Amino acid sequence: MQTKDLHSLYLQSPKLNQLNILREVAANARITQAELAARCSLSVAMVNNYMKDLCNSGLLEYNRKSVKSVTYHLTLSGDRHLETLQTELIGEMARMFAGAKEYIRTRIMNQASSALQRVVLYGSGHLAQLAFHALESAGISIQGICDDNPERIGNDFCGREVVNPSQIRFISPDAVIIAGTLNTEEMHRHLAALSERGIELIYLYKSRRQDNPTFLKAGSEPLSYYNNRDQANSFS
């Protein structure tokens, strides 16, 4: 029986479950099936079934010293299979990354009232990274990266220094692309003031007419490969 987790749209495939289990065993031969279940977002019963199948296929072998002491080891075939699955997953991730960039680019263009040339990107999380590459591939000049989280100001982000949002008014961009959580009421007021000065505000995680996230919550992983489904073959 699978664990129940409805927080992700991603459907985990049997091949991905194999990959996760093999990778965990390769890193720790003494890992228990309960630990595997927790790490791979599966039930213990499901992990047990996978372990049996992997052993029967000659990809895993085990050494039982006692009822409570079992170690698992990848065979040579298991090592090769793990490498094959990892290479396949990287290719799938690259395709999903390209698709996410295209989605974000389209989302930005659909919200913009006119052609964008100079923008400031608000946010320095994973969604902002996708937005950065989407904007660059569209030929839009990113004039600055800002964040109102004090711990991120001054840090490097995609080769740029993260600055305080107070600098936006001096840059005077066509638009601010908001790909991060607005942490303070002051930031909301600051953006509203920029909007009154004619600087467009474009939200990636919600539209101007919606309060709920429609793509990804700011700062979250763009795509999760470790949630809990076992039915859909998401990469083949």
Those residues with Cβ within 8 angstroms of residue 160's Cβ, 6 or more apart along the chain or in another chain: 142, 144, 145
In this predicted model, what pLDDT tens digit does every residue of 155-193 receive, in sequence order? 999 999 999 999 998 999 999 999 988 877 888 888 999
Q: What is the mean pLDDT of residues 16-38?
A: 95
Q: What is the pLDDT of residues 43-70, one digit of tens each?
A: 999 999 999 999 999 999 988 877 678 8
Q: What are the residue boundaries of the structural domains of the chain, listed by start?
A: 14-74, 100-203
Instruction: Give the total residue count for the chain.
Output: 236
Helices (H) and strands (E) in the chain, counts: 7, 8
User: Which residues lie below 8 Å from residue 218, measured CB to CB, with a gap of 6+?
Assistant: 123, 125, 127, 128, 179, 180, 181, 204, 205
Residues 6+ away with beta carbon under 8 Å from 55: 61, 62
CATH of 14-74, one of 3.40.50.2300, 1.10.10.10, 3.90.550.10, 3.30.70.600: 1.10.10.10
Half-sphere exposure of 171 (CA within 13 A, CB side): 23
Mean pLDDT of 18-36: 95
Q: Taking the model in full, what pTM does it have?
A: 0.71
Fold of 100-203: Rossmann fold (3.40.50)
User: CA 235, CA 13: separation in Å to the nearest integer?
Assistant: 7
Residue 67, φ and ψ in degrees, nearest 5 = -60, -35
pLDDT value at 216 more than 80: no
Residues 27, 18: Cα–Cα separation, whole Å: 14
Which segments of 82-174 are extended strands (E)? 118-122, 141-146, 156-157, 160-163
